[in-house]
């Protein structure tokens, strides 16, 4: 699909019948935000409740007919399914649209996230990471779609058929590309490891800023370091790790202080696919090797409790449970209603601090807490 112009998009989320309405609405709202970040125009959004996804098209024959009708009526150029679809399901759904003379492209959730990443990447490392993630995502589709085409055309699985030959050629190409990108990223990872080793030799402490996407991590990093990280009210505004410096009091009490390095990392999101975590491994190593984590939470978001759990789940996958952590409840200037006392009690183990990265409220207290925590550990 050509994306030179802003595409008109249909969004659909397939969920189990047991999912609560509030959770379903959260998912659809986030999908809408992803579309806005990508730069699409929402024409229709819907929720479909199914016990299990349809094995051919994910959404089922009746829903496909409905979606095609909507696509024609609304002149939609894009259909995004808020789920991870199998290669054959993507192929079958796209074929149904093609046969109905609709030019709408069919994407799943990962496709949309990858497109956003591709638009926002600025460094060579980020571009390599996105390319690796795209190859890992598309690789199985090449085989799956080739198999689906052979099945529909009455082909066999024996070697030598033209369709199979083309599929094998594509698979080999993807494999070679993936190996090349991995080697390039290994060079970057080696360079990063060298920088981290040098920081350690010089006695620098490091803090990694983590959190759900759009929680205000870049704004907080800027407030702490006065370093100009890109700030935008959009999901995945930051894809590249940025490192800035601040000072904190040393244990001698001399008042000279010690230099502290603060790194801003990629934001996390619900159902972040494993291939994306793997592709951004060199960036996330900044988190794994940190002396302290600042988990930034948008306290003005009514769903911040659920998002805390999502972030903690991904941190668990990264095996960083041993690293001390401070919960930074950000955007207090926007929060209409929250109980500071309740949050302090609930998250006491994570030394909660309340700030506004935009107005500067609480930043001084956060810096003091950073120093106190690092001196203890």
Tokens 């033209």 map to which residue?
Answer: 162
Are 78 and 71 in contact by the 8 Å Cβ rule? The answer is no
Q: Which residues of the chain have pLDDT under 50?
A: 1-3, 144, 146-160, 228-239
Of all residues in the chain, the percent with pLDDT exceeding 90 is: 42
pLDDT of residue 272: 75
Spatial distance between the Cα atoms of 78 and 41, rounded to a whole number of angstroms: 10
- Residue 49's SS3 state is strand
Give just the sign of the alpha carbon dihedral 305, 311, 313, 319: negative
Measured CA to CA in angstroms, residue 327 lies from 54, 171, 374 at distances of 41, 44, 15
Q: What is the pLDDT of residues 145-187, one digit of tens each?
A: 544 444 444 444 444 455 556 777 777 888 898 899 889 888 8
Count of CB atoms situated within 10 Å of the CB of 71: 23
Count of CB atoms situated within 10 Å of the CB of 238: 23
Calculate ∠ Cα 306-312-314, nearest 5°: 110
Q: In this structure, what token pair is assigned to residue 286? A: 């900044």
Q: In this structure, what token pair is assigned to residue 208? A: 């990694």
What is the distance in angstroms between the CA of the first residue and the CA of the last residue of the chain? 52
- Name the nearest CA neighbour of 219 among 204, 234, 205: 234
Spatial distance between the Cα atoms of 107 and 90, rounded to a whole number of angstroms: 7
Whole-prediction pTM: 0.78
pLDDT of residue 100: 97
Spatial distance between the Cα atoms of 16 and 31, rounded to a whole number of angstroms: 17
Are 189 and 133 in contact by the 8 Å Cβ rule? The answer is no
- Residue 160's SS3 state is coil
Cα-Cα-Cα-Cα torsion 188, 194, 200, 203, nearest 10 degrees, comes to -110
Count of CB atoms situated within 10 Å of the CB of 345: 10
Helix axes 124-152, 109-120, angle to 10 degrees: 150
Which residues partner with 296 through β-bridges? 211, 328
pLDDT of residue 189: 76
Tokens 């890992």 map to which residue?
Answer: 136
Are 9 and 79 in contact by the 8 Å Cβ rule? The answer is yes
Are 209 and 294 in contact by the 8 Å Cβ rule? The answer is yes
Q: In this structure, what token pair is assigned to residue 215? A: 């929680």
Give just the sign of the alpha carbon dihedral 157, 161, 167, 172: positive
Are 295 and 325 in contact by the 8 Å Cβ rule? The answer is yes
pLDDT of residue 151: 47
Tokens 């506004």 map to which residue?
Answer: 356
Spatial distance between the Cα atoms of 373 and 289, rounded to a whole number of angstroms: 16
- Name the nearest CA neighbour of 1 among 136, 98, 100: 98
Measured CA to CA in angstroms, residue 26 lies from 29, 34, 111, 298, 306 at distances of 5, 12, 20, 15, 10
pLDDT of residue 149: 47
Which residues partner with 173 through β-bridges? none
Give backbone dihedrals phi and psi of 349, rounded to 5 degrees, phi first: -65, -20
């Amino acid at each position: 699909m050509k994306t030179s112009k802003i595409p008109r998009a249909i969004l659909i989320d397939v969920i189990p019948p047991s999912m609560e309405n509030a959770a379903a609405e959260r998912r659809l709202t986030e999908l809408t935000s992803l579309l806005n970040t990508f730069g699409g125009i929402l024409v229709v959004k819907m929720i479909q409740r199914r016990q299990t996804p349809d094995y051919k098209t994910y959404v089922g024959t009746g829903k496909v007919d409905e979606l095609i009708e909507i696509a024609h009526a609304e002149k939609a150029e894009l259909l995004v399914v808020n789920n991870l679809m199998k290669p054959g399901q993507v192929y079958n759904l796209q074929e149904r649209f093609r046969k109905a003379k609709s030019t709408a492209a069919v994407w799943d959730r990962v496709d949309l996230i990858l497109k956003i990443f591709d638009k926002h990447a600025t460094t060579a490392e980020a571009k390599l990471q996105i390319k690796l993630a795209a190859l890992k995502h598309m690789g199985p589709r090449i085989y799956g779609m080739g198999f689906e085409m052979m099945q529909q055309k009455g082909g066999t699985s024996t070697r030598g058929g033209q369709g199979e030959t083309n599929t094998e050629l594509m698979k080999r190409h993807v494999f070679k590309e993936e190996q090349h990108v991995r080697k390039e990223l290994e060079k970057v990872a080696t360079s990063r490891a060298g920088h981290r080793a040098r920081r350690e030799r010089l006695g620098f402490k490091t803090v990694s800023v983590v959190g759900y996407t759009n929680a205000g991590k870049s704004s907080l990093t800027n407030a702490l370091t006065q370093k100009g990280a890109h700030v935008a009210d959009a999901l995945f505004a930051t894809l590249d790790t940025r490192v800035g410096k601040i000072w904190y009091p040393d244990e001698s009490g001399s008042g000279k202080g010690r230099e502290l390095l603060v790194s801003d990392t990629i934001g996390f999101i619900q159902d972040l696919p494993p291939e994306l975590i793997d592709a951004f491994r060199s960036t996330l190593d900044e988190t794994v090797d940190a002396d302290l984590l600042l988990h930034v939470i948008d306290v003005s978001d009514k769903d911040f409790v659920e998002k805390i759990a999502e972030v903690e789940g991904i941190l668990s996958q990264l095996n960083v449970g041993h690293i001390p952590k401070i919960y930074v409840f950000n955007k207090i200037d926007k929060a209409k209603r929250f109980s500071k006392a309740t949050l302090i009690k609930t998250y006491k183990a994570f030394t909660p601090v309340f700030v506004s990265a935009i107005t500067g409220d609480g930043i001084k207290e956060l810096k003091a807490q950073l120093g106190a925590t690092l001196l203890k550990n």
